[in-house]
Amino acid sequence: MAKAKARTKPKASSKKKPRPGGSNGNLLLVATRKGAWLFRGDAARKQWRADGPHFLGHIVNHLVLDPRDGKTLLAAASTGHLGPTVFRSTNLGKSWQESPRPPAFKKQEGGRSVKHTFWLTPAHANEPNVWYAGTSPQGLFRSEDGGITWNEFSGLNDDPQYRSWMGTEQDGTPDGPKLHSIIIDPRDPKHLYFAMSGGGVHETLDGGRKWKPLIEGMEVVAGFDPKTVTFHDPHCVRLCPSNPDRLYQQNHCGIYRLDRPAKVWKRIGKAMPSKIGDVGFPMVVHPHDDETAWVLPMDGQTVWPRTSINGEPAVYGTTNGGKSWTRLDAGLPKSQAWWTVKRQAFAADRGKPVGLYFGTTSGDLWASHSEGTSWNCIARHLPEIYAVETAEL
């Protein structure tokens, strides 16, 4: 299925070699409930300088740098009172301009309104200035001018079948149902995936004309029918840059892997220690090795506290595609650390060894320069962290 007929060779990204031992300029893009920060790192990724807050008081759900030009930043923002918008910078945050037409549903009888833009994804390397956005409630939008103006994409937002799978605004997460994990196949700009909480994982091979659910093998909460798309709650889906046929997923109900062209997800979280389980939000994949991925398990018992288990936070990593998992907690607190790490708040850079970064809802920013074998805190006391992204300058 995933091997589309026409593959387009990316112009830039495929030629970009990973830099050994870290690049000359590292950037962490940190989006929080009260604003955004840019952390600029040295070549060794040891020293980080905070640049911010940007948009103090704004709820920033995602802050992303365009890897195609290395300078365009988009921030998905709103406040507790004001409606959603997108801010854009072309000088790495020195100045910002607001989108004159941010993502919004069309006006119609019974029409929906965007509460916030949740997810931003730059499109294919061969489509400069094209971006995709996912919103709450679930909507898919596209910009063809670098994030200045946005339009609904593909008819999905009004498709009766998809609207039924999206459910109502009460069916989603406490902060509203979301469309997220918009993924572009680096070999083919028409081959896209996205996920919905709730509403499953979906795929198109023709640039959004037709979409199909990709939920087989995914489990749902006990007592519900896994054939019903709307019951599926993928929290985060990632495609391996080194093998675009391999996807990893952290779901409300487990950790999964899918190797295309297969269509059935395999629950690799079953190999996690039983006392830890495989509930969580983020999923991170290694940029150069499709066998390696990381998760940050959360407590999914009883009323779903969704904190670190027993107050002892740990990353778990696999180096064999999920056959086994290793606890990676050196440097993290040993007790009484009741963190939650949201789905967009854990990211990897492209260094060798790979750097890992996550932000907590209590405002701490943690880093590992050794692929998770040891951790150190690089910032404390930020607002609740919603998203962490990495970029090379």
Partner 1 sequence: MSKILIASPLRSYTGADEVEALGENLGALLHDLDRRYPGIRFRMIDEQDRVRRHMRIFINGEPVKDLGHRLHESDEICIVQALSGG
Q: For residue 243, what are the CA distances in angstroms to 25, 187, 287, 321, 372?
A: 26, 10, 9, 12, 21
Q: Taking CB under 8 A as the rule, does residue 98 contact partner 1?
A: yes
Q: Identify the residue among 26, 61, 72, 85 touching partner 1 (CB under 8 A).
A: 85
Q: How far is CA 123 from the centre of its chain?
A: 14
All residues at 6 or more sequence positions from 160 whose CB lies less than 8 Å from its CB, including other chains? none
Q: Taking CB under 8 A as the rule, does residue 145 contact partner 1?
A: no
Residue 265 in tokens: 């997800």
Residue 194: enclosing H or E segment and its boundaries?
strand 192-197
Q: Identify the residue among 83, 155, 207, 273 touching partner 1 (CB under 8 A).
A: 83
CB of 279 to partner 1, least distance (A): 27
Strand ranges in 106-177 using DSSP code E only, listed in sequence order: 116-122, 131-136, 139-143, 151-152
Q: CA 229, CA 68: separation in Å to the nearest integer?
A: 34
Q: Taking CB under 8 A as the rule, does residue 82 contact partner 1?
A: yes
Interface size with partner 1, residues (CB under 8 A) = 20
Q: Taking CB under 8 A as the rule, does residue 105 contact partner 1?
A: yes
Q: How far is CA 128 from the centre of its chain?
A: 21
Residue 321 in tokens: 């595609």
Binding segment for partner 1 (CB under 8 A), chosen from 9-17, 63-71, 111-119, 336-344, is 111-119
Q: Taking CB under 8 A as the rule, does residue 113 contact partner 1?
A: yes
Q: For residue 25, what are the CA distances in angstroms to 41, 258, 272, 360?
A: 6, 33, 35, 24
Q: Identify the residue among 15, 17, 94, 107 touching partner 1 (CB under 8 A).
A: 107
Q: CA 319, CA 297: separation in Å to the nearest integer?
A: 17
Query: Look-up: residue for tokens 């980080």?
Result: 48
Degrees to nearest 5, angle at CA 178 with 177 and 181: 150
Q: Identify the residue among 15, 81, 94, 334 touching partner 1 (CB under 8 A).
A: 81
CB of 303 to partner 1, least distance (A): 22
Nearer to partner 1, 112 or 187 (CB): 112
Q: Taking CB under 8 A as the rule, does residue 79 contact partner 1?
A: yes
The DSSP symbol for 341 reads: -
Q: Taking CB under 8 A as the rule, does residue 151 contact partner 1?
A: no
Instruction: Using alpha carbons, select from 171, 187, 273, 189 the residue that is nearest to residue 228.
Output: 171
Binding segment for partner 1 (CB under 8 A), chosen from 18-26, 44-52, 97-105, 117-125, is 97-105
**How many C-beta neighbours within 10 Å does residue 41 have?**
24
Binding segment for partner 1 (CB under 8 A), chosen from 7-15, 79-87, 121-129, 216-224, is 79-87
Nearer to partner 1, 104 or 253 (CB): 104
Q: CA 171, CA 197: separation in Å to the nearest integer?
A: 9
Q: 7: burial class by Cβ within 10 Å (0-12, 13-18, 19+)?
A: middle
Q: Taking CB under 8 A as the rule, does residue 157 contact partner 1?
A: no
Binding segment for partner 1 (CB under 8 A), chosen from 102-110, 128-136, 156-164, 296-304, is 102-110
Q: Is the dihedral of CA 329, 331, 332, 335 positive or negative?
A: positive
Q: In the stretch 36-75, what mask flags binding to partner 1 with x, by CB under 8 A?
A: ---------------------x------------------
CB of 113 to partner 1, least distance (A): 4
Q: Taking CB under 8 A as the rule, does residue 104 contact partner 1?
A: yes
Nearer to partner 1, 115 or 263 (CB): 115
Q: Taking CB under 8 A as the rule, does residue 155 contact partner 1?
A: no
Q: What are phi and psi of 193, to 5 degrees?
A: -125, 155
Q: Taking CB under 8 A as the rule, does residue 94 contact partner 1?
A: no
Q: Taking CB under 8 A as the rule, does residue 102 contact partner 1?
A: yes
Say which amino acid occupies 381: H
CB of 135 to partner 1, least distance (A): 11
Query: Look-up: residue for tokens 């499109």?
Result: 123
CB of 246 to partner 1, least distance (A): 38
Q: Taking CB under 8 A as the rule, does residue 96 contact partner 1?
A: no
Q: Identify the residue among 114, 192, 218, 237 touching partner 1 (CB under 8 A).
A: 114
Residues forming the site for partner 1 (CB under 8 A): 57, 79-83, 85, 98-100, 102, 104-108, 111-114
